[in-house]
C-alpha cells in the first residue's frame, strides 16, 4: 500500500484496497509507532482495568455455530489481494474473522503505512451472508474477532489457504512448513494452574498491520498488537516471514514490552500451547482406534550450559506443572518429532503438525522452563503448555522487555550434531521374558537415532545406560542396537509402588562422554498402564 492513499483520506484508501467507502469515511489517518504503543501500554498499567466492550451482545449471541458458518469473507474485498483492476500493492491478502457467540469480543484492526494508521471498521459488506443473518445488525464499531494472512504463491490459490492467524485472547498460530495448523503460541500466560486461582486470559485488543508496497513472499509482514488484561498490559511487535515456497518454515521475530498492573503468582512468558492425548505409550491409547493422537509429543530444551533435554509429554490423572531451572537457556519448544503417517493413521494429518521452537534473542536470565500437563479424554482440548517463568516475584509495577524468535517447522532449527535424539518412548511390564513378571515393575525402552553419531559405535561395543530416579529402584539397564543399524535402544526396569510418582533421567554414554540427549520423564503407573495391571 502506497503512503499517498492514507494521506489522501479514507475514501482513497477504501478504493485502493476495495473496502466499503462509507465504513472508513470517519477514520482519518493517525500517527503510529511501536514506541508510542509501548508508552500507551505503560500508561494503561497505571490505571484500573476496563473489560473490553462486548459489541451488541444481543446480536452476537444470535450468531451461533451454524449462523457463524454462513459468514464467508468476500475475497474481493481483502486488503492486499492484488486485484488486477486496482492499484493495491501485492502482499499477503488480509482476511478478517467475524464476531459470533463463541468469539464475542470486538478487536480493532488498523492498516499502517509509513507511520500512519487507519482503522478498518466492521461492515456486513465484507462478508457473503444470507439477508437474515444477525451479523447484518452489528454496528460499524463492532470490530472483528481476529484476522489471518492468506498464502500468495499464485493468483488462484490464496483464497484456499492461510498461513498465520490471530484469534481469541492472545492466541496465534501458523501452518509451518507442511501447510497444517497444530499447536498455538500466546502473547502471555497469567497464573496457569495456580491452586485456588482461575487463569487469566488477557486480550490483544488492537492490531496494526503493515506490509510493504513491493512485498514478495519472503518480505516480512509487521503486526503490532496492544495487550490488555486485569493484571497486565503490553505492546507487541511481530515480524513474520512466510518464505518463498510452501516448504519453507515460518519465522516470527517477536518484541514485547510487558507491564504488570497487579501481582501475578505464575507469569508465563514466551508461552506455547498444544494437545497430547496419547502416544505409543499411555493408557489412553486403549480408548481409540488410532495408534497415536497428539499435536506435539515432547518438550525439547537446550539449556544455558549446553545440555540437550527431551521430555516426552504425558496425559496425567491430575493437572501437573514440571519446572526445569535454568539460566539464559538457548531455546525450548513443543515438538512433533514423529512425522510418520502410519503412526497416526488419521486424515487430519497429525504427522504434519508444526513443531514450534522458541529462540531467545535477548538473554532471559534466571528462571525455569515450565511444562503444564492437564488431563484430557479427547483430542479437542489443548491440554499442554510450555513457557518461561523468570525468577523473582512478578509484582505490580514490574516491567519485562522480551525479544525472541519463533520457528514454525517440522523439527528443531538448531539440531545437535554430536549427540543422538530421542525418537520413541516405550513402556511395558518389567522383568525377564520367559519368567513370571513381578508386580509393580515396569520396563522403559527409549529409542535414539542420529546416523552420523550412532554409526560410529564400534562393532561389539555397547554404550552404558545412565539412569537416575526420584523414587523406586532401577535395575536391568542395557543398550542394544535395532537391526537397521542407526537406532539404538536404552532399556531399564523400574520398581515403583502404585501411589508413587517417579521423575526419571537417562542418557547413553560411550567412553565417558554423552552419546545421546538427556531423556526426562515423569511416570505414574496408571498413566501408562491403566488402573488394571
Among 248, 266, 284, where does a domain finish? 266
Look at residues 232, 266, 300 and tell me which one is the last residue of a structural domain.
Answer: 266
In a domain, 202, yes or no: yes
pLDDT digits (tens, 9 = 90+) for 288-332: 999 999 999 999 999 999 999 999 999 999 999 999 999 999 999
How do residues 11-63 score in pLDDT, each as one tens digit? Answer: 333 433 333 332 343 468 999 999 999 999 999 999 999 998 899 999 999 99
Asked whether residue 399 is domain-assigned, the answer is no
Q: Can you give the pLDDT at residue 28?
A: 83
**410: in domain:** no
CATH code of residue 181? 2.70.98.10
**CB-CB contact of 236 with 254 (8 Å):** yes
Same domain membership, residue 310 and residue 329: yes
Q: Is residue 302 part of a domain?
A: yes
150-165 in b/e burial notation, b at 16+ Cβ within 10 A? bbbeeeeebbeebbbb
Q: Global pTM?
A: 0.92
The pLDDT of residue 283 is 83
pLDDT (0 to 100) of residue 87: 46
Backbone angles phi, psi at 116, to 5 degrees: -130, 140
Give me the mean pLDDT over the 124-144 stretch: 92
In a domain, 144, yes or no: yes
Give yes or no: residues 261 and 274 share one domain. Answer: no
State the average pLDDT over residues 359-378. 97
Instruction: Assign residue 452 the CATH number of its domain.
Output: 2.60.40.10
CA distance linking residue 230 with residue 144, whole number of Å: 22
Same domain, yes or no: 206 and 325: no
Q: Grid coordinates standing for 258?
A: 510487558
> Quick one: 319 and 212 in the same domain?
no
Q: Is residue 412 part of a domain?
A: no
Residue 150 and residue 237 share a domain: yes
Percent of the chain at pLDDT > 90 equals 74
Classify 253 in phi/psi space as left (phi over 0), alpha (psi -120 to 50) or beta: beta
Question: Do 179 and 49 sit in the same domain of this protein?
Answer: yes
% residues pLDDT > 70 (the chain): 89
- Do 49 and 196 lie in one domain? The reply is yes
Calculate the CA dihedral of residues 228, 230, 231, 232 and round it to 10 degrees.
10
Co-location of 252 and 290 in the same domain: no
Cα 422 from Cα 479, distance rounded (Å): 14
Q: What pLDDT was estimated at residue 36? A: 97
Residue ranges making up the domain that contains 139: 1-266
The mean-pLDDT minimum among 10-19, 165-174, 254-263, 464-473 falls in 10-19
- What 3 state SS string does 395-421 have? CCCCEEEEEEEEEEECCCCCCCCCCEE
User: 3-state DSSP call for residue 376?
Assistant: coil
Domain endpoint, select from 217, 233, 266: 266
Asked if the structure places residue 388 within a domain, the reply is yes
Question: Above 80 in pLDDT, residue 245?
Answer: no
CB 191 within 8 A of CB 200: yes
- The DSSP H or E segment spanning 281 is none
Domain co-membership, 229 together with 286 = no
pLDDT value at residue 159: 65
Contact (Cβ atoms closer than 8 angstroms) between residue 457 and residue 489: no
Residues 311, 378 share a domain? yes
> How many CB atoms sit inside 10 A of residue 86's CB?
13
Half-sphere exposure of 514 (CA within 13 A, CB side): 18
153 is written with which cell numbers? 504463491
Counting the structural domains of the chain, the total is 3
Q: Which of 159-173, 344-358, 363-377 has the lowest mean pLDDT?
A: 159-173
CB 143 within 8 A of CB 207: no
**pLDDT for res 530:** 63
pLDDT band at 3 (very low <50, low <70, confident <90, very high): very low
Q: Assess whether 314 and 262 both reside in one domain.
A: no
pLDDT tens-digit series, residues 171-190: 999 998 888 999 999 999 99
Mean pLDDT of the chain: 89
Q: Is residue 402 part of a domain?
A: no
Q: Are residues 384 and 452 in the same domain?
A: no
Residue 284's pLDDT band (boundaries 50, 70, 90)?
A: confident
State residue 26's pLDDT score: 47
Amino acid at each position: 500500500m502506497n503512503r499517498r492513499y492514507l494521506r489522501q483520506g479514507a475514501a482513497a484508501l477504501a478504493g485502493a484496497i476495495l473496502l466499503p467507502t462509507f465504513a472508513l469515511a470517519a477514520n482519518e489517518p493517525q500517527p503510529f509507532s511501536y514506541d508510542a504503543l509501548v508508552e500507551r501500554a505503560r500508561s494503561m498499567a497505571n490505571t484500573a482495568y476496563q473489560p473490553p466492550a462486548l459489541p451488541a451482545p444481543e446480536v452476537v449471541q444470535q450468531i451461533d455455530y451454524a449462523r457463524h458458518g454462513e459468514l464467508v469473507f468476500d475475497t474481493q474485498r481483502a486488503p492486499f489481494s492484488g486485484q488486477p483492476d486496482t492499484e493495491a500493492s501485492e502482499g499477503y491478502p488480509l482476511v478478517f474473522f467475524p464476531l459470533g457467540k463463541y468469539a464475542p469480543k470486538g478487536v480493532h484492526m488498523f492498516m499502517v503505512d509509513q507511520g500512519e494508521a487507519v482503522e478498518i471498521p466492521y461492515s456486513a459488506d465484507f462478508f457473503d451472508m444470507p439477508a437474515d443473518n444477525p451479523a447484518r445488525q452489528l454496528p460499524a464499531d463492532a470490530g472483528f474477532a481476529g484476522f489471518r494472512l492468506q498464502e500468495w504463491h499464485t493468483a488462484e490459490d490464496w483464497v484456499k489457504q492461510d498461513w498465520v492467524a490471530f484469534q481469541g485472547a492472545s492466541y496465534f498460530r501458523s501452518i509451518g512448513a507442511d501447510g497444517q495448523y497444530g499447536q498455538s503460541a500466546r502473547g502471555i500466560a497469567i497464573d496457569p494452574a495456580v491452586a485456588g486461582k482461575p487463569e487469566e486470559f488477557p486480550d490483544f485488543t488492537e492490531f496494526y498491520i503493515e506490509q510493504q508496497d513491493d512485498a514478495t513472499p519472503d518480505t516480512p509482514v509487521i503486526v503490532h498488537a496492544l495487550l490488555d488484561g486485569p493484571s497486565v498490559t503490553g505492546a507487541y511487535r511481530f515480524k513474520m516471514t512466510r518464505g518463498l515456497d510452501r516448504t519453507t518454515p515460518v519465522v516470527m521475530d517477536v518484541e514485547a514490552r510487558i507491564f504488570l498492573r497487579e501481582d501475578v503468582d505464575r507469569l508465563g512468558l514466551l508461552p506455547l500451547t498444544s494437545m497430547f492425548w496419547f502416544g505409543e505409550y499411555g493408557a489412553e491409547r486403549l480408548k481409540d482406534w488410532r495408534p497415536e493422537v497428539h499435536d506435539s509429543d515432547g518438550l525439547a530444551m537446550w539449556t544455558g550450559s549446553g545440555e540437550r533435554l527431551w521430555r516426552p509429554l504425558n496425559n496425567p490423572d491430575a493437572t501437573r506443572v514440571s519446572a526445569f531451572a535454568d539460566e539464559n537457556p538457548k531455546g525450548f519448544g513443543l515438538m512433533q518429532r514423529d512425522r510418520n503417517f502410519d503412526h497416526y493413521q488419521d486424515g487430519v494429518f497429525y504427522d504434519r503438525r508444526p513443531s514450534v521452537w522458541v529462540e531467545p534473542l535477548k538473554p532471559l536470565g534466571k528462571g525455569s522452563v515450565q511444562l503444564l500437563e492437564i488431563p484430557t479424554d479427547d483430542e479437542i482440548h489443548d491440554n499442554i503448555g510450555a513457557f518461561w517463568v523468570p525468577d523473582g516475584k512478578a509484582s505490580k509495577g514490574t516491567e519485562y522487555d522480551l525479544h525472541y524468535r519463533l520457528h514454525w517447522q517440522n523439527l528443531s532449527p538448531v539440531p545437535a550434531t554430536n549427540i543422538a535424539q530421542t525418537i520413541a518412548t516405550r513402556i511395558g511390564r518389567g522383568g525377564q521374558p520367559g519368567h513370571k513378571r513381578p508386580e509393580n515393575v515396569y520396563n522403559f525402552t527409549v529409542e535414539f537415532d542420529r546416523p552420523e553419531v550412532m554409526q560410529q559405535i564400534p562393532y561389539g561395543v555397547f554404550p552404558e545406560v545412565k539412569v537416575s530416579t526420584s523414587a523406586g529402584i532401577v535395575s536391568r539397564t542395557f543398550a542394544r542396537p535395532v537391526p537397521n543399524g542407526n537406532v539404538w535402544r536404552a532399556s531399564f526396569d523400574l520398581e515403583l509402588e502404585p501411589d508413587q510418582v517417579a521423575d526419571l533421567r537417562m542418557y547413553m554414554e560411550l567412553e565417558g562422554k554423552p552419546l545421546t540427549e538427556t531423556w526426562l520423564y515423569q511416570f505414574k503407573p496408571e498413566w501408562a498402564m491403566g488402573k488394571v495391571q
